[in-house]
Structures are given as structure tokens and as C-alpha cells.
Amino acid sequence: MSDKLLEIKDLNVNAEEKQILKGINLTINKGEIHVIMGPNGSGKSTTANAILNNPVYTKTQGNIVFDGQDITNLKTDEIARKGVFMSFQLPEEIPGVSVTNFLKYAKNKVTGKPVKIFQFKDELKQYMESLNMKPENMERSLNVGFSGGEKKKNEILQMLVLNPKLAILDETDSGLDVDAIKTVSKGIEMFKNDENAVLIITHNTKILHSLKVDYVHVLIDGKIVKTGTQELAKDIEDNGYSQYK
């Protein structure tokens, strides 16, 4: 059995008429945490959206293989059901749908099995406790009136509940204070095991202070220009991106 979970080969992506990604190559194995870093506008979020085949972006070349299957042209919901999860930079507010009901519905759609509600609520409570989330948030409308930190913790809660094979976290650390970043890191550590993987997309290094990662990739102008270990993130923190431009 191959340990490769995600393989991106020579991926070129346009948004409208503009080329954003210019030949991305990336392999993520089971059990690994990867980070894509880069300045604003370098193509980080485009990479995440392209994996899930967001129709706003057009792939012009290359392909994406997930868990041994080519997912390049699959629909977003099919890719999600195969075990790819993405947390959003700006999570949507959904009035009238409680956190519990949203997660129950999502879990049912991903697994195709009915959810045992009492067991599910117990599981939810335990996760929320670990993430320092207020238990009353379970019955509130999803993200409505939540602070930025609460919304981001909610995304981590979704990741834990849905338990995907690959979790893509797009700027989950942006706008968070030190304590919230530590909580998000704790959630990632709770999720991580030898059979799954995490791809963190960020433009700063704060989240890496409380999380051990395997690889850091620097993305500049639609290309990965350098790959290294956690030390590479430290170098960027000290010296910025200008040396790679």
C-alpha cells in the first residue's frame, strides 16, 4: 500500500483569465503535516480551492490524485465524501441551522450512515470542552454572532467530527490571539494520526510556534520556490519573503 495521500502534479490554474498557479508539484504522505506559506496573492488559497475543484477556478494543466484516485475533475461534494475537508478563511453564517444540526447533517452526508444523536451530542460536548468552546454554542445558529475566534474553533470542531483523511486549513490562524491559536493547534494534534494528513495554509508563522510540522513550502507568484522543515518558517519569520521574490 502506498503512503501517498495527495499528489499534485504540474498544476496550472486560472481565475477568470488570469493564471494564478504556474506548475505546482506537491506530495503529502499519510501521517504528515505540511504548511504552504507565502505573501498575500501568491496562490495559497487557490491551491486549496483547486484541490476541492471550486468552479471559480479553472485547471488548465496537471492533475490531482487523492488516496490513489484521480480527483482532478470530480465535483466538490464527491471530493469531500472521499475524505477531503477544508476549513474556510471566512466561515459562513447560517441563520436557523444550529451547530449540532449542521454537524449531524454533514456527518450523515460524509459517512452515508444515520447519526445516533445522543452519542453524537456526547462526542460533540467532549470536543467542545477540549477546544474551550461554550457548550451552549451547540444550539446556536451556525457562526451567527460568533466572534472570529469562535468561528475558527468551530471549523476545527467540524474537522474533528467529520474526521477526514486530509484536512486543509486555510488561514485558520488569521486574526486569532495567542490562546486561540494554541487551541487550534491542540485541535490539530487531537485530529492527527498515522493514517491522515493536514495541509495548513498561512502567511504568518504564529501557528507553528505551538505545532510541530513536517514540511514547509514557500509559494511565490504561483510557484513553490522552496521546501524545507520547520526551520524554514523561522527563517521567513526573521527575514520575510523578499529573498524568494
Instruction: Provide the β-strand partners of residue 215.
Output: 34
- Which residue in this structure is represented by grid cell 500500500? 1
Residue 152 to residue 83: CA distance in whole angstroms: 20
Instruction: Look at residue 110 in the predicted model and tell me its pLDDT.
Output: 85
Give the predicted TM-score (pTM) of the model. Answer: 0.94
Residues of the chain with pLDDT > 70, as a percent, come to: 99
**Confidence label for 7 from pLDDT (cuts 50, 70 and 90):** very high
Q: Which three cell numbers stand for residue 146?
A: 460568533
Contact predicate 200/36, CB 8 Å: yes
Is residue 89 scored above 80 in pLDDT? no
**Confidence label for 180 from pLDDT (cuts 50, 70 and 90):** confident
- Which residue in this structure is represented by grid cell 487551541? 183
**Confidence label for 244 from pLDDT (cuts 50, 70 and 90):** confident
Residue 236 to residue 242: CA distance in whole angstroms: 9
Q: What is the pLDDT of residues 8-50, one digit of tens each?
A: 999 999 998 899 999 999 999 999 999 999 998 899 999 999 9
Q: What share of the chain is helix, strand, coil (3-state, %, to 5)?
A: 40, 30, 30
* Average pLDDT, rounded, for the chain: 92
Q: What is the pLDDT of residues 63-85, one digit of tens each?
A: 999 999 999 999 999 999 999 99
For the domain covering 4-244, report its CATH number. Answer: 3.40.50.300
Domain residue limits, the chain: 4-244
